Amino acid sequence: MSHARCNLAARTTPEQLKAAALATFPHVRATAEPPQKTESFDGVLDFCQPRTEDLGGAAGGDAWYIWKVGPYAVLGDLGLALNKYPDALAKLSAAVGAEIVVCAIDSALDYAFFGAYAGGAMKRHLLHESGEYEARGLPVQAEKGRPLVDFSEEEADRIWTSYGLPTFEYAPEEGQFECIALERTE
């Protein structure tokens, strides 16, 4: 797998998703630093890594990147924090008026997450962390007909890509990315 990261996607515009996420997530707020646009994921890494506390950046720092993939706006973070706020994800699905799918993978920590939220509620939650597996909600379409006795990075990636979203196997190759500097409020 490529770089550890968390991505969430919704059928909306990047501008709408960014505005709704900034208004919904309780743990961050945008800084005065202007957003930066880049054509490559390397540019995302160059911007986000030094601004993310969990990756050696300044205390209280964080960063998001956002881009368009087909009909989806995709918002991501390298610190794997977006998926840790299920109430915010549920509210975000209501705010954008669309289903939100979330995937987080960190091979170094043997961590995988997939979630689906719609209408202000969690619909599916799959987590593999430290050898433990947790499943809540109803299976999404990509799970039907496949008995899920365990959940792994490969399964998280397979379910995520079933939505027509790019694999976590490698860094995204296409996109006009916008990077946003944030500060943590919690």
Reported as a single tens digit per residue, the pLDDT across 140-172 is 888 887 766 678 899 999 999 999 999 998 888
Contacts of residue 110, Cβ cutoff 8 Å, sequence gap at least 6: 128, 129, 130, 131, 153
Sequence spans of domains, the chain:
5-184
**pLDDT one-digit tens code per residue, 82-126:** 999 999 999 999 999 999 999 999 988 889 999 999 999 999 999
Mean pLDDT, the chain, rounded, equals: 92
Q: Which residue has the higher pLDDT, 174 or 157?
A: 157
> What per-residue confidence (pLDDT) applies to 108?
85
> What per-residue confidence (pLDDT) applies to 104?
96
Q: Which residue has the higher pLDDT, 144 or 57?
A: 57
What is the rounded average pLDDT of the residues 51-57?
Answer: 92
Residue 11 burial by CB count (10 A; 0-12/13-18/19+): exposed, middle or buried? middle
> What per-residue confidence (pLDDT) applies to 144?
80
CA angle 86/162/70 to nearest 5° reads: 90
Q: Is the pTM of this model over 0.95?
A: no
Percent of the chain's residues with pLDDT above 90: 77
Q: Which residue is listed with tokens 């499943």?
A: 135
